Amino acid sequence: MKTYFCGETMDNEQQDKWEFFIKTGIVVLSFLVLMVFGIRYIPKAISVTDSANTKKLPIYCVDEEENKVALSFDAAWGKVR
């Protein structure tokens, strides 16, 4: 059976090659789309925490454009809760 593609006839061998090419293209494009969505959305869904370290540490410095001074007091005088 002959089919027509762009006005030309194709025999079964040519038709099989085109079908393989199209199926391979669909698989490759699907894989690429899944990779793009995976790279874009999976990192937002995963959070990494350090739940073993429950001790809160003070912040000693912060990068700022403007010069500022912060003053804090240890009201418990070093007592650990």
Interval 26-79: pLDDT, tens = 999 999 999 998 888 877 777 666 666 667 777 777 788 888 787 777 666 666
Residue 22 inside a domain? The answer is yes
| Residue of 3 and 29 predicted with greater confidence | 29
1 pLDDT more than 60: no
Residue 80 inside a domain? The answer is no
What pLDDT is recorded for position 78? Answer: 61
Q: 76 is written with which tokens?
A: 């418990």
Give the global pTM.
0.44
pLDDT tens-digit profile of 4-17?
556 667 778 888 88
Distance (Å, rounded) from C-alpha 3 to C-alpha 79? 87
Residue 81 inside a domain? The answer is no
User: No. of H helices and E strands in the chain?
Assistant: 1, 2
| Start-to-end C-alpha separation, the chain | 85
- Domain extent, residue 15, equals 1-74
Residue 79 inside a domain? The answer is no
Q: Which residue has the tokens 């869904």?
A: 45
